[in-house]
Amino acid sequence: MLKVALIGFGFMGHMHFENYVRLAAEGMPIQLVAICDLRIEELKKAGAGGNIATDQDVYDLSPYRLYDNIDKMLENEQVDIVDITLPTPLHADLTCHLLERGLHVLCEKPVASHSADAWRMANTAERTGRTLMIGQCLRFWPAYEYLKACVEDGRYGAVTAGYFYRGSGLPSEWFLDGSKSGGCITDMHIHDADMIHWLFGKPDRVSTLARNVIPGSGYDTVSTHYMYEDGKVLNAQADWTLQGDYGFSMTYRVNFEGGNLVFENNVLKVNPNHAPGFIAELSPDMGYYREIKYFLESIIAGKPVSVCMPESAAGTLEIIEAEIRSADHAGSIEKV
């Protein structure tokens, strides 16, 4: 039985918690034993917040040992796996510390605040032989897995163009401090940058227009062109300043030589050029569930992970850093 500790019990902590409970109930040989959050007393009675609803607002945490201090938890608990759902600046040092202690780690995206830290995490995982996976959850999101399969098996030919988008209202608390979250460009837009990286490899160059709307929050509205040798026209946009009743949305449209895929309002429509269009049948499970399941199954089987590896997440952060350099110079074309 693998013992798991969860560090961070905010929005993503709640989301991960639900999935550990579900996976254990489904028979996976894991046990969540401890949860740590600075604000655990307050949070155990409160809702999760965030863009995507968790199943419940308030949970019964009586089966778990609760901590408000990470060192205290590590002193008292013998665990195999730690799941980190803390604010981004806390990811790198803690991940390296846990790997050095011989633990496997699942760490939320963005992997770190800077790519140098991300590489330090990847190198520590390599040296210690422990599993480190980064929660770039879109790689496990059914509509994006479908797209990945189409790109890989070439059923509609090569990609000629694509557009990726995500938007939301203003995020809460520390996200609006750009020195902590990196702004929308590093925190939210990174999902689509990572998807483009995952689908097509690193672009040669990028050009980004972005603006800061909320003072101090970094780039919170962003549009990037990704340039590849074959000339495909790829753009990703993100904006976390959509107020009023906007809510949250993520979409894409990808054009292949032989058809196009359009993901909108949680529905994926496939439009082959010379056949009737259809709605793709997708797993109803969220990417978060599929991601955590894959991570745990890999550890149980003693197999290395090949999706969301830290080296790949570090590469995505390098793309974002090139985008920021470009945005700082009014859209200059930057090498990645």
Ligand X SMILES: NC(=O)c1ccc[n+]([C@@H]2O[C@H](COP(=O)([O-])OP(=O)(O)OC[C@H]3O[C@@H](n4cnc5c(N)ncnc54)[C@H](O)[C@@H]3O)[C@@H](O)[C@H]2O)c1
Residues that bind ligand X (CB under 6 A): 7-13, 36-39, 43, 49-50, 70, 85-88, 90, 108-110, 135, 137, 173, 187
Residues 6+ apart with CB under 8 A from 336: 202, 203, 204, 205, 206, 318, 319, 322
Judged by beta carbon, residue 13 or residue 178, the one nearer ligand X is 13
Query: Do 323 and 227 touch, CB atoms closer than 8 A?
Result: no
SS3 317: helix
Strands 2-7 vs 81-84: parallel, antiparallel or unpaired? parallel
At its nearest, how many Å lie between ligand X and the CB of residue 154? 29
At its nearest, how many Å lie between ligand X and the CB of residue 31? 21
SS3 208: strand
Judged by beta carbon, residue 109 or residue 197, the one nearer ligand X is 109
At its nearest, how many Å lie between ligand X and the CB of residue 220? 14
At its nearest, how many Å lie between ligand X and the CB of residue 49? 6
At its nearest, how many Å lie between ligand X and the CB of residue 84? 8
At its nearest, how many Å lie between ligand X and the CB of residue 67? 8
At its nearest, how many Å lie between ligand X and the CB of residue 143? 14
Judged by beta carbon, residue 100 or residue 173, the one nearer ligand X is 173
Judged by beta carbon, residue 82 or residue 261, the one nearer ligand X is 82
The DSSP 8-state label assigned to residue 58 in this structure reads S
Can you say how many angstroms the Cα of residue 97 is from the centroid of all Cα atoms in its chain? 22
Q: Which residue is nearest to ligand X (CB)?
A: 10
Judged by beta carbon, residue 12 or residue 319, the one nearer ligand X is 12
CA–CA separation, 159 vs 154, rounded Å?
Answer: 9
Query: Do 7 and 97 touch, CB atoms closer than 8 A?
Result: no
Judged by beta carbon, residue 36 or residue 150, the one nearer ligand X is 36
SS3 78: coil
At its nearest, how many Å lie between ligand X and the CB of residue 206? 21
Judged by beta carbon, residue 10 or residue 259, the one nearer ligand X is 10
Contacts 24+ apart (CB under 8 A), 47-51: 48/10, 48/11, 48/13, 48/14, 48/15, 49/10, 49/11, 49/172, 50/10, 50/11, 50/12, 50/14, 50/15, 51/168, 51/248
**What is the per-residue DSSP string for 87-121?**
-GGGHHHHHHHHHHTT-EEEEESS--SSHHHHHHH
Q: How many residues does the chain have?
A: 336
Judged by beta carbon, residue 9 or residue 156, the one nearer ligand X is 9
